[in-house]
Amino acid sequence: MTWDYIIIGAGSAGCVLANRLSADPATKVLLLEAGGSDKKLNIWMPALAFKAMADKRTNWKFMSEPDPTRNNRRDMVPRGKGLGGSSSINAMFYVRGNRGDYDHWAQLGNRGWSYDEILPFFKKVEGNRDGVSDIYGKDGAVVVSQVRKPPKLAYVYLEAMKELGYPINPAYNAEPTEGAAIIHVTQHRGTRFSAARGYLDPIKKRPNLKIVTGAVVRRIVFEGRRASGVEYEAAGRVQTDLCGREVILSASAINSPKLLMLSGIGPQAQLREHGIEVLHDSPGVGRNLQEHASTQVKAFVNIKTANQEFNLRGKLKYGLQFIFDRSGYATYTYTGVGLVRTRPDLEYPDIQYHFGAFSANYTHDGIEMQREAAINLQPNVNNSRSRGFLELRSADPNEQPKIQLNLLSDPYDVQTLMAGGRIARAALNTKAFAPYVTGECKPGKDVQTDDEWIAYMRENASGSYHPCGTCKMGIDPAAVVTPDLKVIGVEGLRVVDSSIIPQIPSCNLNAISMAIGEKGAELILRDRSQQAAA
């Protein structure tokens, strides 16, 4: 059978594409996903996100190379594996970013990607079913709501930020974005609302859409320079499905460049090193890898936090609360967000905060809850300038690629993260927190000078699980795709996911990934309509 479209990856963007491209009953769509079903308790119940992230069945669990900018430490780089992709294992934060992010994309030559042009696609994603804010779209596929019954310390966090001069801004996803708020999340009545739940579940039975799980793509097949199909392994058998219109890569900022290189599109010297025939020398494939550098600022508190509640008694208590009214600890991880300017001369916030009324550490297996009663106010660098890269380890499709983050390689990121850490420390030392905070947990009283902060960050900073940029959209020599998301140098192939991001925006990446999916679907359907009219 020949499909009209083959979509590789059922993640945040791939689910959107499957829905929009199969809306026409005459259009045959094949969706390939390496993972399995999203119908698991670890996915459905928000507080179990950390468990889903630690499970190799639902997370690719990529490992980075030793990072010379952080004392050669390695990180787990999570990417969702299963229907919904990372939207099925993430912390569910819904953050759009600001006008400056997307106007900058347009200024780089990406016509059609300015803030005013991308905003309608965010609204196409958003379903304001729970009435959280009138800034959101009303009829979108994914429900956006506020976390339900957050802990008392989340409201103390808001007062602390206000005490420092930052406004409380429940509409932080509109303009202006600056301020602190109880986080908005992709949930409905306390349960996860992933891209799979919003975009795939309502249309799974369309006769013109086939979803294959457990399908590990090996390469894209070409006839000449045109993508004509996909070779993949499923149920122990390698097979090739053919495509009449377009193959669309939506496999993540890690797997999309990997598959391009396995298919002969990438830096020619690297491909030849692994015995891969070069179809098109594209030096930007796997380059421009970006992340939001973050570090932890934690304080001990004199009241119970989630860490002390997750014993047998607490699980019973909050499990019953979840069953009866879908609220409480079972429905959230972090509960506060903050977008701030570290200097008054800045036009837009350069730091995003995640506030959690719990204590956790980043480990090789993901986020691990700690025993101490403590809270965490984590700063992330919004528009980070450090750049890493991704390379093939071999021509084996089953082998993980080399991921080099270089997370603190740019002095701007080091200085900005340090400024964000000092503001977080000030917040935890406000009058608002005084009745609860008993002392600083991290970085500790011995970290005061710039040199001490920098040493602390090189030993403790991590990514925010927001890799992007490895198939950069643009018009410059390092661009991998055009502003229409077509892969440069070949035909019939697009990349539609977070890998096309030219500059990381001031936000968690799930919202923009789904908006990229909506925008990509419109571009594909527009081209098809123009071809039909010609």
C-alpha 376/C-alpha 362 separation (Å) is 12
Q: Residue 33's Cα: distance from chain center in Å?
A: 18
C-alpha 176/C-alpha 232 separation (Å) is 46
Q: What residue ranges in 46-91 does DSSP mark as E strands?
A: 62-63, 76-77
Tell me the two tokens of residue 306: 């989630």
Query: Which amino acid is present at 391?
Result: E
Phi, psi of 220 (to 5 degrees): -95, 135
C-alpha 253/C-alpha 393 separation (Å) is 16
Tell me the two tokens of residue 487: 């892969």
Contact in structure between 441 and 359 (CB atoms under 8 Å):
yes
Residue 278 half-sphere exposure, CB side, CA atoms within 13 Å? 13
Write down the catalytic residue from 188, 280, 292, 466. 466
C-alpha 267/C-alpha 401 separation (Å) is 14
Q: What are the Cα distances from residue 439, in Å, to 29, 298, 299, 419?
A: 57, 9, 6, 20
**First vs last Cα of the chain: how many Å apart?**
26
**Closest by Cα among 409, 195, 380, 458 to 289:** 409
Helical (H) or strand (E) element with 372: none
Peptide bond into 150 cis (omega under 30): no
Phi, psi of 2 (to 5 degrees): -105, 125
C-alpha 432/C-alpha 437 separation (Å) is 10
Q: Count of H helices and E strands in the chain?
A: 14, 27
- Angle at CA of residue 130, ends 432 and 114, nearest 5°: 85
C-alpha 67/C-alpha 177 separation (Å) is 32
Q: Which residues contact 523 (CB under 8 A, 6 or more apart)?
A: 484, 485, 494
User: What residues does 73 pair with on adjacent strands?
Assistant: 67
C-alpha 495/C-alpha 480 separation (Å) is 9
**Closest by Cα among 100, 185, 109 to 142:** 185
Q: Which residues contact 39 (CB under 8 A, 6 or more apart)?
A: none
Residue 155 half-sphere exposure, CB side, CA atoms within 13 Å? 5
Q: Residue 149's Cα: distance from chain center in Å?
A: 25
Active site residue 292: no
Tell me the two tokens of residue 126: 């958003």
Catalytic residues: 466
